[in-house]
Amino acid sequence: MTIPRLELSGITKRYPGVVANSDVSLSLMPGQTHAVLGENGAGKSTLMKIIYGSIKPDAGRMLLNGQPIQIRNPKEARANGISMVFQHFNLFDTLTVAENVWLGLTRDSLQQVTASIVDKASEYGLDIDPTRPVHTLSVGEMQRVEIIRALLTRPEVLILDEPTSVLTPQAVEKLFVVLKKLASEGCSILYISHKLHEIRELCNACTVLRGGKVTGVCDPSQESNASLSRMMIGAEPPTLTHHASRLGAPMLRVHDLSLAREDQFGVDLRGISLEVRAGEVVGIAGVSGNGQRELMYVLSGEDTRARAGSIRIGEVDACGLHPGARRKLGLHFVPEERLGRGAVPTLGLAHNLLLTRNESIAHPGFAGGWIRIGPLQAHAAEIMRRFNVKAAGPRAAARSLSGGNLQKFLVGREIDARPRLFIVSQPTWGVDVGAAVQIRGEILALRDAGCAVLVVSEELEELFEVSDRLHVIAQGRLSPSMPIAQATVEKIGEWMSGLWNTEEPARA
């Protein structure tokens, strides 16, 4: 019989208040694409980090090509042919793409590494400029960097943690071609994703975790989305109910917004006009790096350079207003970057709750200018309960949460503020299938309650589920709006290349 490329037995990892992995066993064969499936907080990422040497297990044994091995750090993992693409990126913001790839991977010159990046990017359809500083990249572009860096190591074991979470359908198709080719050449792939259709298409084995324990092993190609969901969360996810919208007054009006990029690697915004009314969800689709980042900055108030009168929240000219002032007008915002912009990594969840609150918003944690810790923690705990956030408690540091659980808390924090205008970027990035349905349901509930909602997402399936109208952003320009009943994947894909009739009047 063929010796497993990687074999785990009895892997256990405990943290204060939680057992992340409990007696986990897994066998990965040469050339196999093996899914690790489970809801947020099930222990998937912890297990992958143990394999990669980022975390030391409390108990258990690992065999590589039949030989016992202890991986003490990622450098040893890479030396033994194991590479990993993390869900939360391990990139230095102040360095370029090429410099990030160069660190720790090779003794080649920077020029050679730059040439290798260009070749790999071209070969795999993951276009990226190796000279760009990482801080100028969108989340989707950062993910491309991580994937290219892993592929350049020519791994025998490739670990992918939510690799398609912010990739477009076209980019996902190209990535799957690459992964299938790697597997045919003998590379063994461990694949974490909450997208069940991806797992069924790509993977030929699957280990299911629930609460840190293995609850099942199967061939996902022989399963349905419903049966995989039952194995993962014990039930099928509920279906969304999308009622006809009841339009109210305009809550966000953007008129002929043009804005020069702040750095040489950004995107100029050109003549953008859109309107979001109370009681509707407007979606914006597009390939990462086409102006989404710049548009979100200017709408949230992080960039206040917009021409007077070009952005109105309700009846107020919001140009020049900082994020706090816009919150007082009823705008609440969820950025695509969870750690650093959405949450302070070292602060507990309760204190992160305060970041988007002020005394103009009724909150039990405020009293006469003082912060009341007890009510604040109780409020954070209630958000955790409502959105099923798995963490050690309201004092848990934001960086200690899995990506999906932190996303649930951030979305819950802003929805809990009862916004009049809700802007969210990548709302279900990295969350499990049950949580994705819940978040999308909460977005629709906000809309039905009269909130105006703007959703920026690279998941077309998500936009089709929640949107009443769709725009596409390409090269800093915004397409006309399209009623969701008239939208097709083919049409949206065509518009992502900027191919729309610019003479067609957009709905303001």
What is the Cα–Cα distance from 414 to 508, expressed in whole angstroms? 26
Say what the pTM is.
0.73
pLDDT of 1-60, one tens digit each?
Answer: 589 999 999 999 998 878 999 999 999 999 999 999 988 788 998 999 999 999 999 999
pLDDT of 218-270, one tens digit each?
Answer: 999 899 888 888 888 777 767 777 778 889 999 999 999 999 998 877 899 99
pLDDT at 415: 94
Give me the residue label for tokens 């222990």.
43
pLDDT at 93: 86
Strands 469-474 and 281-285: parallel
pLDDT at 505: 41
Give me the residue label for tokens 């057992």.
19
Whether domain 238-322+454-508 has CATH 3.40.50.300: the reply is: yes
* Chain centroid to CA 492: 21
What is the Cα–Cα distance from 214 to 134, expressed in whole angstroms? 37
Average pLDDT for 76-80: 92
What is the secondary structure of 210-275 as a DSSP string?
A: ETTEEEEEE-GGGS-HHHHHHHHHSSPPPPP--PPP---SEEEEEEEEEE--SSTTS--EEEEEEE
Mean of the per-residue pLDDT values of the chain: 89
- Range(s) within the chain of domains with CATH label 3.40.50.300: 6-233, 238-322+454-508
What is the Cα–Cα distance from 56 to 337, expressed in whole angstroms? 27
Give the confidence band of 403 by pLDDT, cuts at 50, 70, 90: confident
What is the Cα–Cα distance from 442 to 387, expressed in whole angstroms? 10
Q: In what order do the strands lie in the sheet with 67-68?
A: 18-28, 6-15, 59-64, 67-68
Select from 354, 337, 344, 336 the least CA-distant residue to 400.
344
Whether domain 6-233 has CATH 3.40.47.10: the reply is: no
Please report how many Cα atoms fall inside a 13 Å half-sphere around the Cα of residue 332, on the Cβ side.
21
